[in-house]
Amino acid sequence: MWAALGLLLSFFLVTGVFAAPERTHVGYSELRDRVRDGEVSSITYNTQTDVITAETTGGEQFESSATAELFANDTALFEEHGVDYETRTPAPNLIASLLPFLLPMALLIGFFVYMQRRAQGQMGGIMQIGRSKAKTYTTEKPGTTFADVAGYEGVKQEITEVVDFLKAPERFASIGARIPKGILLVGPPGTGKTLIARAVAGEAGVPFLSVTGSDFMEMFVGVGASRVRDLFQSARKMGRAIIFVDEIDSIGRKRGAGLGGGHDEREQTLNQMLSEMDGFEATEGIVMMAATNRPDILDPALLRPGRFDRQVVVPLPECDERLAILHVHSKDKKLADDVDLVTVAKGTPGMSGADLSNLVNEAALFAVRRNAKQVHMEDFESARDRMLMGQRRESMALSEVEKEIVAYHEGGHAVCAAVLPHADPLHKVTILPSGMALGVTQQLPEERHLYRQDYIEDSLVVRLGGRIAEELVFGVISTGANNDLMGATELSRKMVREWGMSERVGPMAWGGQGQVFLGEDLMHSREYSDETARVIDEEVERILREQEDRCRDTLRHYRPGLDAVAAALLQDETIDGAEVKRLIDEAQRRAGDGRGGDGDGDGAAVATSEPAQLRAARS
């Protein structure tokens, strides 16, 4: 169609370029006069246009017009003066005559062709819907290797066998060894599970097919199973390859669970994946890797040997691993000489690799806001406060009364955290509104893998410190302890229900409530009787009451220190942990050994004895 339109346009252009040259037009009477004078040698009459073309004896041409009757009447005049005349009827232009019909027909044909191609495109899209959406990373592209993964030496060692198998499968086949068909990477979000999987492909030098669990699901029935089949067929064509399914829990959830019996389309997709994983042999060179942060909800058939043979735990990084991760993310940043990444690594327990990357970037952003040329240590401190405590709300203005209440509230937390022997180290206290809080007491937890009962009890005392401080100083409590009470109640309930830290309940444990969408808590009776539930509630209350009394005794004894910390907060708004300890020690020395608050709300100091447990711990 486009070629025909181009030829038609060319015809008109060529016709316009090579058109006959323009001639002088004279009247018919003047033509007769020139014939009588002997100036005209020949005449041609066009019967279609009634145009007369005449040529003079000198070779010039001119035009005139007349009717056919006039021209026929003057033929004798032309013969008398020796003029050669002829009557010409030109053949009609076929294209010009057919153009009024061809143009509408061409437009109609073009419309139907356009609609047909559009329909074919839509049908092609529907036919392609069953194809896998996996992204293939080949060996020609720059690959990720283990050198790009900081830390996690144990995880690297665990999956090195997979790399060796993909590089030299004959070594394993020669002695009959079978490599795991599937490796499941399990760990919290942000720990680098996807990065590790890509590093395995980069080390092995094989294609890497990456897909997420949600890519298998569509609105059409059977699409998920079709995409699973296409994914494994594509991998088989590559010979040796790694199939990586990120967030596999979206399709690998337990079958036949949840409200309504489950999700049939998702279960069919899982069934097809289970069939495909059993369908290829270990010697084919195809290894399936998957990542999830919720292994507890995966179907048992997916985790059995022969499918995902090995689970590799990717935990939160330790201090040395955090240091290596910080070095990786800060290598392209301009760091000042006062930046100590070792200190930063020690002060960021519980942060994942993604959190550390965000920390370094936030520090750089703080440096830009200060118009600094380099990132300093204070920028890292500000970035950590931003991540742990939230964005500071500069627009919120507290009244003097509210500010004093917040100062004593946070001072109660800070004093308990500073003097209790098993509490996490105190880092910073502020009464500046940050995030959703009016003030924040920040502790930096040490590296712990087990939590002793005395540590948990001291944590409860620290959580209750703000509420008890308000009660001792003002004689009335406020709503500021809402979040503290929720956390303390949840922690004490776990002590009784899950950790066996109650003598009345004894060595029994009941886990938390199951997820309804997994069918674990729907129409499910309690594992213990109503009498046991009453005992649990009583034990939770007893633990909270005991720790509340400990907290009250502690703050009464350290009342001078509480007043000093609150006064410093009202003056400076933010003080660090070392300053809190110095203020407490100086206030206690000035008040004399064993002096504290009486707790009646007037702030007077009276003599009291130090609690026996605190005295033993301090000694």
End-to-end CA separation in angstroms for the chain: 98
- β pairing state of 286-292 and 310-313: unpaired
The per-residue pLDDT for 269 is: 76
Higher pLDDT, 391 or 135: 391
For residue 606, what pLDDT is reported? 33
Counting residues of the chain whose pLDDT is more than 70, the rounded percentage is: 80
CATH architecture of the domain covering 400-511+528-618: Up-down Bundle (1.20)
Q: In this structure, which amino acid lies at residue 351?
A: M
Q: What is the pLDDT of residue 261?
A: 45
- Is pLDDT of 92 > 70? no
Distances from the Cα of 537 to the Cα of 79, 358, 534, angstroms? 136, 42, 5
Cα atoms in the Cβ-side hemisphere of radius 13 Å centred on 582: 6
The neighbour count for residue 518, using CB atoms within 10 Å, is 15
d(CA 283, CA 563): 73
CATH 1.10.8.60 fits 320-388, yes or no: yes
Tell me the torsion sign for CA atoms 191, 193, 199, 204.
Answer: positive
CATH of segment(s) 135-313 = 3.40.50.300
Query: Which segments within 48-174 are labelled E, that is strand?
Result: 51-56, 61-65, 84-88, 135-137
Per-residue DSSP letter, 609: P
CA 11 to chain centre: 59
Residue 53 in this model has a pLDDT that exceeds 90: no
Q: What is the share, in percent, of the chain residues with pLDDT greater than 90?
A: 15
pLDDT of residue 410: 92
pLDDT in tens, 310-361: 888 888 888 888 888 888 888 888 888 888 888 888 888 888 888 888 899 9
Average pLDDT over residues 195-204: 78
- In this predicted structure, the answer to whether residue 184 has a pLDDT above a threshold of 50 is yes
Please calculate the CA angle 592-597-603 and round it to the nearest 5 degrees. 115
Which residues are paired to 287 by β-bridges?
242
Pick 612 or 247 by higher pLDDT.
247
DSSP 415-427: HHHHH-TTSPPEE
Most confident range, picked from 152-156, 244-248, 413-417:
413-417
Structure confidence by residue, pLDDT tens digits, 575-585: 888 899 999 99
pLDDT band at residue 139 using 50, 70 and 90 as cut-offs = very low
Q: Has residue 497 got a pLDDT over 80?
A: yes
| Residues acting as catalytic residues | 410
> Letter for the amino acid at 15?
T
| pLDDT band, residue 595 (cuts 50/70/90) | very low
Per DSSP, helices labelled H in 133-218 are 153-167, 169-174, 193-204
DSSP lists the bridge partners of residue 208 as 137, 242
When pLDDT is averaged across residues 471-478 and rounded to a whole number, the result is: 90
Highest mean pLDDT among 138-147, 281-290, 426-435: 426-435
Residue range 47-75: mean pLDDT, rounded: 79
- Per the CB < 8 A criterion, the answer to whether 415 and 422 are in contact is no
What is the pLDDT averaged over residues 167-178? 76
Q: Which fold does the domain 23-88 belong to in CATH?
A: 3.30.720
612 contact partners, CB below 8 Å, separation of at least 6 = none
List all residues 6 or more positions away from 515 whose beta carbon is below 8 Å from its beta carbon: 297, 521
pLDDT (0 to 100) of residue 95: 64
Query: Residue 389, SS3?
Result: helix
Whether residue 484 is predicted with pLDDT greater than 60 in this model: the reply is yes
Q: Which value, to the nearest 10 degrees, does the dihedral of the CA atoms of residues 471, 473, 478, 483 take? A: -70
- The three-state secondary structure class of 368 is helix
Give the dihedral sign, CA 491/493/498/504: positive
CA distance 524 to 257: 13
Confidence bin at 135 (pLDDT 50/70/90): low
Strand partners, 533: none
What are the residue ranges spanned by the domains of the chain? 23-88, 135-313, 320-388, 400-511+528-618
Calculate the average pLDDT of the chain. Answer: 77
Q: Would you call 286 helix, strand, or coil by DSSP?
A: strand
Q: How confident is the model at residue 607 (pLDDT cuts 50, 70, 90)?
A: very low
- Which tokens go with 53? 């073309």
99 pairs with which residues across the strands? Answer: none
Pair of tokens at residue 128: 């392609």
What average pLDDT does this structure show over 157-168?
A: 76
Report, as an integer, the average pLDDT of 230-248: 79
Residue 476 to residue 492: CA distance in whole angstroms: 24
The CA distance from 438 to 554, in Å, is 24
